[in-house]
Amino acid sequence: MKIILPLLAGGLLLSLTAAAQAQLEGIDPRTGKPAEPVVKPLPQPAPKPVARDEGSTCGDYGTAVLFEESPKDAAARAKKEEKLVFVLHVSGNFEDPRFT
Amino acid sequence: MNALANPEVGKYLNEYFCSAFQKVATFRIVNGQKQGGNVAAYFCAPDGRVLHCVAGPVDAATMLREAKWVVETTKKAMAEAKGDGAKFKAFFRKAHADRLRNEHGIVVEAITFDPPAEQDPNSALTYNDPTGRPLAPKLPPPPIDGPDVTLRARELQSAALAAPGNKVLLDRRGGRVALNNQGQVHHLMAAHCMRPIETLYGAIFEGILGEKISTKPVQVVTPFPWRPEGRAARNGPVRN
């Protein structure tokens, strides 16, 4: 008994030390292979506002489209930049989504 | 508005178009509940002549497809017309007639020549609305020759006639054909594409979408004007 007890205690101590080391080094004690790193999903960055050109006097009103002050302004800008014109006709207040 | 919130749609529209919006109809609030309300998106040349229109709310994929079609067709029309405005207009009207045939199975002959206007909008004898502007003229769509003679066109028309909400029209021989909002737009545009937006918007917003054009953006209606929300309605719109 005097011999067996210290041997058991020593064995237990060794296994505890190995387990602690495995935990520190990220090794799976059952397989002995490096454990899969736990990666928390990073929070998604908020969508960046659409880049505004210099001289633009418009807003996007909660959309991804830049709106000029009036169709006349849009037409003048389109002629200058050789683009087409997109005109939205809406019921209600476009500026307030509750009334669109 | 969900289509316009899509980043891909926004990127494409910002790249090829300069955008603006106008409030053309009333948005009714009856007893605190939204009623009606609609939207029409016009793709125009820089001088305000309409190339194409999307009537009613659509998803992002549809809006992007229509915007790309306008840009690509404009490029082809410019290459074909070589600076001739009449050829450009004829190309676009034929393109609308082609889409009506391919996507809705209906044959119309694109009208490529505009007769002179019967009424001079600046004449003293022309009736004007109280704001001083001439009323939007009633635009007759081109006559429908009939459904296309392909099996696919027959399937398209069978589905369209069975779908609720589609407008049923008569062709030259009295046969029934059905069109959804976008089909009606192509039908109208086959005769009136490249007209100024001020002459077309009435036909789109009232004729196709069925909305009454008004200069009052929000109308609050309550049957109980003596209650607090009714008093607020008379003073300004109720926001809930």
The interface predicted TM-score (ipTM) is 0.82
Residues of A in contact with B71 (CB under 8 A): 84
Chain position carrying tokens 């399937």? B155
Residues of A in contact with B5 (CB under 8 A): 62-64
Candidates A63, A84, A99; nearest CB to B43 = A84
- Interface residues from chain A to B (CB-CB < 8 Å): 47, 50, 58, 60-71, 73-75, 77-79, 81, 83-94, 97-100
Gap between the Cα atoms of B91 and B109, Å rounded: 13
Could you tell me whether strands B218-221 and B27-30 are parallel, antiparallel, or unpaired per DSSP bridges?
Answer: parallel
Gap between the Cα atoms of A65 and B147, Å rounded: 38
pLDDT score for B233: 52
pLDDT score for B219: 58
Name the burial class of residue A22, with classes exposed (0-12), middle (13-18) and buried (19+) by CB atoms within 10 angstroms of its CB: middle
Per residue in B75-134, pLDDT (tens digit) is: 999 999 999 999 999 999 999 999 999 999 999 999 988 877 666 767 777 766 666 665
Interval A70-74 mean pLDDT = 91
pLDDT score for A94: 67
Interval A5-28 mean pLDDT = 69
Helical spans, DSSP H, in B52-194: 60-81, 85-104, 151-162, 181-192
Q: Are B110 and B207 in contact (CB under 8 A)?
A: no
pLDDT score for B202: 86
More confident residue, B199 or A44: B199
Candidates A86, A89, A97; nearest CB to B24 = A89
Q: Using alpha carbons only, what angle is made at residue B25 by residues B21 and B26, rounded to the nearest 5 degrees?
A: 125
What is the 3-state composition of chain B as percent helix, strand, coil, each rounded to the nearest 5?
Answer: 40, 20, 35
Phi-psi region at A32: left, alpha or beta (left = phi > 0; alpha = psi -120 to 50)? left
What is the 3-state composition of chain A as percent helix, strand, coil, each rounded to the nearest 5?
Answer: 35, 10, 50
Q: Calculate how close chain A gets to B67, using CA atoms only, in Å.
A: 9
Total number of residues shown for chain B: 240
Q: With CA atoms as reference, report the closest residue to B237 among B35, B29, B33.
A: B29
Regions of chain B where pLDDT drops below 50 = 237-240
User: Taking the complete model, does pTM exceed 0.80, yes or no?
Assistant: no
CB–CB of A65 and B19 under 8 A? Answer: yes
Chain position carrying tokens 């080094």? A25
Residues of A in contact with B14 (CB under 8 A): 50, 64-66
Given pLDDT bands bounded at 50, 70 and 90, which one contains residue A42? Answer: low
CB–CB of A84 and B9 under 8 A? Answer: no
Gap between the Cα atoms of B202 and A88, Å rounded: 14
**3-class state of residue B140 by DSSP:** coil
Interval A45-60 mean pLDDT = 53
Structure tokens at B146: 């009939």
Q: With CA atoms as reference, report the closest residue to B102 among B139, B69, B126, B129.
A: B69
